[in-house]
Amino acid sequence: MSQPLASDFFSSEHTDHHALFENDPLVWELLSEIKPYLQFRLQPENHGHVIGHPVIGEQVYIGEGTVIEPGVYIEGPAWIGKNCRIRHGAYLRENVITGDDCVLGNSCEFKNCLLLNGAQVPHFSYIGDSILGYQAHLGAGVICSNLRTDQKSVKVDWKGERIDTGRRKFGAIIGDRVEVGCQAVLNPGTLLGPGSMVHPGAIVTGTLAEGAVAKNPNMIRMSD
């Protein structure tokens, strides 16, 4: 039975954390590797620029050129790459890894997640137990829901199969260069292929193929 691999969604050349992608794991296995990866490899240092008095935990690495704005709370463990912008009110909980040139925006919450280089989450989003690919971009208010309402293990749809991941918490896999419109909700276990697009306000469940578009059927287009 075919199963979704990391290489189906991401190019590992767009991250310094190549060890996470060794042997091309299943996409949800990456989520389980974030915590031990940080435990064994993280060396806390701050090479960035801190503005005001954000709260930064002891187990945090911040790369050169990264700016941490006032009101940020970084619990850690966290590994933040170079030339990132962590904006006012961002809340980074445990086990967060970002690549270089990422934006973690105002009033956004991050937990057990991996962002590859150039990923942007600028405003009012929740990113839990999820992975964002190279130059993936989320519009304002996008939610990566990571827990089913019935709290059962999350299943994914892949090539005609329904696969039980065994994970109680699993948000979204957002491939390289994916665009997600404002106020979209990605339900647990959503898989977005590279270069795909989700329209604003859409509620998405399942798998979106590479380059495909998920439209919002409730969107109204006004004309003269």
Please list the active-site residues. 123
Q: DSSP letter at 37?
A: H
Q: How far, in Å, are 78, 79, 126, 127, 185 from residue 169 at the CA level?
A: 19, 21, 14, 12, 16
The DSSP H or E segment spanning 30 is helix 27-41
Give the torsion sign (CA, 152, 189, 5, 131).
negative
- The tokens describing 68, both together, are 């941490």
Q: Measuring CA to CA, which residue among 183, 127, 206, 201 is closest to residue 192?
A: 206
Q: Tokens for 71, please give them.
A: 């009101």
Which backbone phi and psi does 58 adopt, to 5 degrees? -75, -30
CB count within 10 Å of CB 213 equals 12
Distance CA 193, CA 178 (A): 7
Nearest alpha carbon to residue 116 among 128, 100, 129: 100
